A and B are shown apart, each in its own frame.
Chain A
Amino acid sequence: MSESTIIDMKQINKGYMLGTEKVPVLKNVDFRVEKGEFVAILGPSGSGKTTLMNIIGCMDVADSGEYYLDEQPIHCMTEKQMGIVRNKEIGFIFQNYQLIPTYDILQNIIMPLVVRGMTTKEAEKRCMPVIEMLGIGHRLGHKPSELSGGQKQRASIARALVGEPALLLADEPTGALDSASGRDVLALFRQLHGLGNTIVMITHDLNVAKAAGRIVHIIDGCLA
C-alpha cells in the first residue's frame, strides 16, 4: 500500500442473517482508492453498494478481510476508535440529507467540530469559509424543514466539509433532488474534487456516476 492510497480493502466479506440463514452481501471485495480520486460505485438495488459504503464509512464492520483507511487498520479498531475516524477522516453526504430537525442549519453544520471538542464559537468561526463557498449563509438560522432539497443537500455537504476530512463519502447524493438541483450538486462535487478532495460516491444512476473520474460496478456483492 502506497502513501497515496486512502482506501485499501482486501478480501472483504459481509453477510446478514436472514432467519437462521446467512445471506452474503459482499464477496471477497478488493477495493482501492487513491488520494484525490473521485470514484463512483455504481450498482442496482440490492447489489451491496450501501453495505460497502457503510464499511468504508466505518459505520459497519466486515465479517472478514482487511480495511485500511489512510493507512489506519480499521478492521482492528474498536467502536470508539472508529467513531474518532468517522469524525476526523470522513465526511458523510446522505441521500436524505440526515440533518437534525430540531437544530438550525448552522448548528447542524458545526456539529462535527463540536463533537471533536471545539466550542460553538470556535466551530462557527471555522466553518464560515465553507458556508460562503456553498452559498447558504442566508439560511443559517433556519430549520432544515424550512429549506429546499438543494439547500438541505448543500448544508449536508457543508457539514461534511467543515471537519476537513480525508474522504468525502456520498450515498446517492442526488437521489432526493430534482434534476436541476442534482446537476448543481454534481457540479459542486466536481469543484470539490478540483480542490483536491477525495470523493467516493455511491449511485444506481449511470448519468450521476459519469460525474466521477472512475466508475466501479458492483453486482451481487462483487466489484467488477
Chain B
Amino acid sequence: MRLSEIGRLVWLNLIQNKFKVFLTSTGIIVGSATIMLVIAIGTGGKLEVAEQFKNLNAGSIDISYEYNGSGFTGGMSGGGMPGGGMPGGGAGSAMPGGGMGGRFSPFDGMGNQMNMTRITLSQEDADNLKESIPEIASATISYTTRQEAEGGSMDESASYTIAGVKENYADISNLEMAIGAFLTKDNDTYKERTCVLGYSVAKEMFDSVLDAYDSPVYIDNRSYVVSGVLMEMGTVASGISPDEAIFIPYETGIKYLTGKDVSPAITVVAEDVNDVESVMEQIVPVLAETYGEKVEFTISDAGSKMEAASKSNETLTLLLMAMAAIVFIVGGIGIMNVLFVSVKERTNEIGILKAIGCDQKDILTEFLLEASCISFVGAVLGVLVSLGITPVIEGFSVRVELSLGGGVLSLLFGVMTGTVFGFYPALKASRLIPVVALNHE
C-alpha cells in the first residue's frame, strides 16, 4: 500500500476520534510543555548566572571577620556599622565577589567559642597581604552601611546603601563610569565629601545621569558632590547591586558616617585565576601573624561562588529534566494503553484489511503512524501550552528564555515517545492471524 494512502487512512481514523486523540495525547502535551519549559528555564538560569557574574572578577577573594561577642549578631558581619542596621550578608555582598564561602581557621571545631574579640580589618592588613603573598595582584578594603540620603528632585530622603571604598575599588569590581570619574586617592586622603552614584540611584534622585553629575547629594544631612555616575551594571550575584549604591571615600565614611568601630572587608585579586586556591591558603597565616591563630576569618572566592551558582542551576535543570522524563514515560504508557485498546477494538478491521491483502508492514505502519500523529498533535499542543504558561512563570520572577531549538527538541521528544510506546501495540496488531482477527467479536 502507498504510504500516502496509509496516511489517508490514519487521517480518517484520527478525525473521527478527535476527543480520543486529545485525551490520549494529554501525557505528551504535559511532557512536551515540560521539556520546552525546562530548556527555557535552564537557559534563562544560565543567562541569569552569567549576567549576575559578568562584573565579577574571577580571581577575587573576600576576607571578612565576624564578631561573635554579645550585642553584635548577623548584620554586623563583614561590614556592620556601630548601631547600624545592616542586613545579614549585606556587607560582604557589597564587596567585589560577594560574601559567600567558608571559614578558614586552624581551630576547626571551636564553633561559637571563636571570634570573641573585636577585630577591625584595616588598610594595613590589605597592604600586608599584598606584600606577603606574591600571587596577589591588588588588594582593597571597603565597608557598607545604610544611611538616609536625598538629592535632586526627591521630596524626602530615603535609605540607601553607602559603600566606603578605596580608589582601586572600581578596577577590582570592574565598574565602568557613565559620566565623570571614580573616587581618587586624594578624595580619600583629605576625607572629601564626594561620591559616585550607582545608575539607579542617579536616575531615582535626578531622573537623568547627566543632571546627577556635579550636583549635591545629602547623606546623613551632609552634602556630597557627585563626581561621577556608574554605568548600569544590572543584577549581581547576591547582596547589593552597584546600581543601588552610593560610593564614598573610605576615610570620609569613617569620619562622617560610621566612626572607627566598623567591620570592613578586604578584597584581594589573584594574579591568575589558578592561583586563587594557593592565595586563600596563604591568607590565614599572614593574618594570624597580626591577630593570632585563634581568630577565624570568613574567606570566599568568586570562582567558588560562580561554580556553586552554576551547579545549583544545573541541579535545577536536571531535576526538571527528570520530571519531564517521568511525565513522558507516563504519557507514553498512556498512549500504549490506548493503542492496545484500539487494537482490541479494531481487531475485526485488521482482519478485514488482512483478508483483502494488507500485509504486516502496512498494518504496522498504519498503527505506528497513528501513534506518531497522536503524539505529534500532543507535542504541538504542549509547545503551545508552554508558550501560554511562560508569562505566568515569568510572573514569579523566573527567567524563561524560549528558543526554537527547545521547541524542536520537545516536538522530537514528544513524537519519539509516542512512536516508541506505540510500537509494541502496532506490532501486535500487525501479527494478528487473519482468520482469527476476522472472527473476533
B379 to chain A, nearest CB (A): 25
Over the window 286-325 of chain B, the binary record of Cβ atoms lying under 8 Å from chain A Cβ atoms (1 yes, 0 no) is: 0000000000000000000000000000000000000000
Bound Cα distance from A119 to B8, whole angstroms: 10
Establish whether residues B356 and A102, one from each chain, have CB atoms under 8 Å apart when the complex forms.
no
Establish whether residues B357 and A102, one from each chain, have CB atoms under 8 Å apart when the complex forms.
no
Establish whether residues B435 and A60, one from each chain, have CB atoms under 8 Å apart when the complex forms.
yes
Establish whether residues B355 and A92, one from each chain, have CB atoms under 8 Å apart when the complex forms.
yes
Establish whether residues A86 and B2, one from each chain, have CB atoms under 8 Å apart when the complex forms.
no
Bound Cα distance from A60 to B354, whole angstroms: 12
Q: In the complex, which residues of chain B have a beta carbon less than 8 angstroms from the beta carbon of A102?
A: 12-13, 16, 349
- Interface residue SS majority, chain A: helix
B432 to chain A, nearest CB (A): 11
Establish whether residues A100 and B352, one from each chain, have CB atoms under 8 Å apart when the complex forms.
yes
Report the nearest B residue to A91, measured CB to CB. Answer: B356
Bound Cα distance from A84 to B352, whole angstroms: 14
Instruction: Answer whether residue B390 sits at the interface, using C-beta atoms and an 8 A cutoff.
Output: no
Q: In the complex, which residues of chain A have a beta carbon less than 8 angstroms from the beta carbon of B357?
A: 83-84, 86-88, 112, 115-116
Q: B88-96, B358-366, B380-388: which lies at the A interface?
A: B358-366
Report the nearest B residue to A84, measured CB to CB. Answer: B357
Over the window 101-143 of chain A, the binary record of Cβ atoms lying under 8 Å from chain B Cβ atoms (1 yes, 0 no) is: 1110001000110111101100000000000000000000000
Instruction: Answer whether residue A216 sits at the interface, using C-beta atoms and an 8 A cutoff.
Output: no
Instruction: Answer whether residue B186 sits at the interface, using C-beta atoms and an 8 A cutoff.
Output: no
Q: In the complex, which residues of chain B have a beta carbon less than 8 angstroms from the beta carbon of A111?
A: 352-353, 356
Report the nearest A residue to B13, measured CB to CB. Answer: A102
Q: In the complex, which residues of chain A have a beta carbon less than 8 angstroms from the beta carbon of B228?
A: none
Contact-size category for A = 20 to 34
The A39-59 residues at the B interface (CB cut-off 8 A) are: 54, 57, 59
Instruction: Answer whether residue B173 sits at the interface, using C-beta atoms and an 8 A cutoff.
Output: no
A218 to chain B, nearest CB (A): 18
Establish whether residues A115 and B434, one from each chain, have CB atoms under 8 Å apart when the complex forms.
no
Over the window 4-25 of chain B, the binary record of Cβ atoms lying under 8 Å from chain A Cβ atoms (1 yes, 0 no) is: 1100100011001000000000
Establish whether residues A80 and B434, one from each chain, have CB atoms under 8 Å apart when the complex forms.
no
Bound Cα distance from A103 to B438, whole angstroms: 17
Bound Cα distance from A79 to B431, whole angstroms: 10
B347 to chain A, nearest CB (A): 12
Instruction: Answer whether residue A4 sits at the interface, using C-beta atoms and an 8 A cutoff.
Output: no
A103 to chain B, nearest CB (A): 7
- Interface residue SS majority, chain B: helix
From B5, B356, B438, give the contact of A159 (CB < 8 A).
B356
Q: In the complex, which residues of chain B have a beta carbon less than 8 angstroms from the beta carbon of A98?
A: 348, 351-352, 355, 438
Instruction: Answer whether residue B1 sits at the interface, using C-beta atoms and an 8 A cutoff.
Output: yes
Q: In the complex, which residues of chain B have a beta carbon less than 8 angstroms from the beta carbon of A92?
A: 355-356
Bound Cα distance from A178 to B25, whole angstroms: 45
Report the nearest A residue to B357, measured CB to CB. Answer: A87
Given A59-B434, A59-B438, A115-B362, check contact A120 B355 (CB 8 Å).
no
Q: In the complex, which residues of chain A have a beta carbon less than 8 angstroms from the beta carbon of B434?
A: 59-60, 86
Bound Cα distance from A59 to B5, whole angstroms: 24
Bound Cα distance from A88 to B435, whole angstroms: 18
Bound Cα distance from A120 to B348, whole angstroms: 22
Report the nearest B residue to A110, measured CB to CB. Answer: B5
B124 to chain A, nearest CB (A): 90
Q: In the complex, which residues of chain A have a beta carbon less than 8 angstroms from the beta carbon of B435?
A: 54, 59-60
Q: In the complex, which residues of chain B have a beta carbon less than 8 angstroms from the beta carbon of A103?
A: 12
Q: In the complex, which residues of chain A have a beta carbon less than 8 angstroms from the beta carbon of B353?
A: 100, 111, 115
Report the nearest A residue to B362, measured CB to CB. Answer: A115
Report the nearest A residue to B352, measured CB to CB. Answer: A98
Bound Cα distance from A98 to B1, whole angstroms: 20
The B421-439 residues at the A interface (CB cut-off 8 A) are: 434-435, 438
Bound Cα distance from A80 to B363, whole angstroms: 12
Bound Cα distance from A106 to B435, whole angstroms: 24
A110 to chain B, nearest CB (A): 10
A168 to chain B, nearest CB (A): 13
From A80, A94, A115, A119, give the contact of B360 (CB < 8 A).
A80
Bound Cα distance from A115 to B1, whole angstroms: 5
Over the window 335-354 of chain B, the binary record of Cβ atoms lying under 8 Å from chain A Cβ atoms (1 yes, 0 no) is: 00000000000001101111
Q: In the complex, which residues of chain A have a beta carbon less than 8 angstroms from the beta carbon of B13?
A: 102
Establish whether residues A59 and B355, one from each chain, have CB atoms under 8 Å apart when the complex forms.
yes
Bound Cα distance from A98 to B435, whole angstroms: 12
Over the window 51-74 of chain A, the binary record of Cβ atoms lying under 8 Å from chain B Cβ atoms (1 yes, 0 no) is: 000100101100000000000000
Establish whether residues A114 and B5, one from each chain, have CB atoms under 8 Å apart when the complex forms.
yes
A85 to chain B, nearest CB (A): 8
Report the nearest A residue to B351, measured CB to CB. Answer: A98
Report the nearest B residue to A80, measured CB to CB. Answer: B359
The B183-208 residues at the A interface (CB cut-off 8 A) are: none
Report the nearest A residue to B349, measured CB to CB. Answer: A100
From B5, B349, B354, B358, give the contact of A120 (CB < 8 A).
B5
Establish whether residues B356 and A115, one from each chain, have CB atoms under 8 Å apart when the complex forms.
yes
The B155-173 residues at the A interface (CB cut-off 8 A) are: none
Report the nearest B residue to A57, measured CB to CB. Answer: B355
Among the interface residues B12, B348, B349, B435, which one has the most CB atoms of the partner chain A within 10 A? B435
Bound Cα distance from A92 to B5, whole angstroms: 22
Establish whether residues B356 and A86, one from each chain, have CB atoms under 8 Å apart when the complex forms.
yes
Q: In the complex, which residues of chain B have a beta carbon less than 8 angstroms from the beta carbon of A80?
A: 359-360
Q: In the complex, which residues of chain B have a beta carbon less than 8 angstroms from the beta carbon of A115?
A: 1, 353, 356-358, 362
Instruction: Name B's A-contacting residues (CB within 8 A).
Output: 1-2, 4-5, 8, 12-13, 16, 348-349, 351-360, 362, 434-435, 438
Q: Could you list 12 A-B pairs, sorted by A, with CB under 8 Å?
A: A59-B434, A83-B354, A83-B359, A86-B354, A92-B355, A98-B348, A100-B353, A102-B12, A111-B353, A112-B356, A114-B5, A119-B4
Q: Given A79-B360, A98-B438, 5 more contacts at CB 8 Å?
A: A59-B434, A60-B434, A80-B360, A98-B352, A102-B12
Which 7 residue pairs across A and B have the least CB separation, nearest first? A87-B357, A59-B435, A59-B434, A112-B356, A83-B359, A86-B357, A115-B357
